[in-house]
Structure 1
Amino acid sequence: MSKRSHPRVKAKRLAEVRVEILWEQAKKAIKSGRPEIARQQMFSARKIAQRTRTKLPQHINRRVCRSCGSILVPGDNCRVRVRHNRSKHLAVTCLNCGRVKRYDINK
């Protein structure tokens, strides 16, 4: 008997490919000066990931603001600072909505 792949596994693989395609298109839209289109594409990518119960890849998740959905470009629409409050961390502030994301820096 041959093994069949489950439809859920196929759906997740397809969703990962679609999310990557939307990410590439959103980066092109940002470079051409159309942030609203990039925001819509990232909203669609997040919905695809939610529907298939998969996580967005880390390299995408760290570059998208969770509250307003815009792609974060340092120096353009976000501010990046290294802070030393309790522990050393990177603070990324979205200049569109003001949300701050913190990432621990471990040596």
Structure 2
Amino acid sequence: MAKRKHKKKAVAKEIALERIKYLFELADREYPTDPDRSDRYVSLARRIGMRYRVSVPPELKKRMCKSCSSFLTPGSNCRVRLKGGLLIVTCQKCGNIQRYLFSKKKKP
């Protein structure tokens, strides 16, 4: 009985991750015409992740603001700066600052 429940949870987590990725694709497509709708898609993706305890993939996590749950598009509603090994993303909507480490890869 326990194995069956464990399999159901694993399947639910896989479906939740697919839905999160799809919602981010929709948000990317809808942003030029309706930014509010893309913000809604991102907040839905965040809620799905919390509900099923699935983390949003790191490449998608950088596309959303942690404080206001808006879809971030560089040059449009967020500012991106590189400073001393850090990638600094500033949300223009709420002013939240997110810092990510990045490595400088040297070309041979």
TM-score between the two structures when normalised by the length of structure 1: 0.86
Cα distance in 2, alignment partners of residues 66 and 29 from structure 1: 20
In the other structure, the counterpart of 1:24 is: 25
Unaligned regions of 5+ residues in structure 1, if any? none
Unaligned regions of 5+ residues in structure 2, if any? none
Deviations for 1:83-106, whole angstroms, at most 9, x for unmatched residues? 23xxx2111111111001101122
Please point out which of 86, 93, 98 is paired with 1:96: 93
Cα distance in 2, alignment partners of residues 20 and 103 from structure 1: 21
- What amino acid is the match of 2:76? D
Deviations for 1:25-68, whole angstroms, at most 9, x for unmatched residues? 11111022x11111111111111111111100111100111111
Cα distance in 2, alignment partners of residues 105 and 26 from structure 1: 25
**1:10-21 matches, cutoff 5 A:** 10-21=11-22
Q: RMSD over aligned Cα, in angstroms?
A: 1.5
Q: How many equivalent residue pairs? A: 101
**1:1-107 matches, cutoff 5 A:** 6-32=7-33, 34-84=34-84, 88-107=85-104
Structure 1 residue ranges (4+ consecutive) displaced by more than 4 angstroms after TM superposition? none
Cα distance in 2, alignment partners of residues 106 and 27 from structure 1: 26
Cα distance in 1, alignment partners of residues 102 and 12 from structure 2: 35
- What amino acid is the match of 2:50? Q
**Where is the helix percentage greater, Structure 1 or Structure 2?**
2
Cα distance in 1, alignment partners of residues 102 and 21 from structure 2: 26
TM-score between the two structures when normalised by the length of structure 2: 0.86
Cα distance in 2, alignment partners of residues 82 and 89 from structure 1: 6
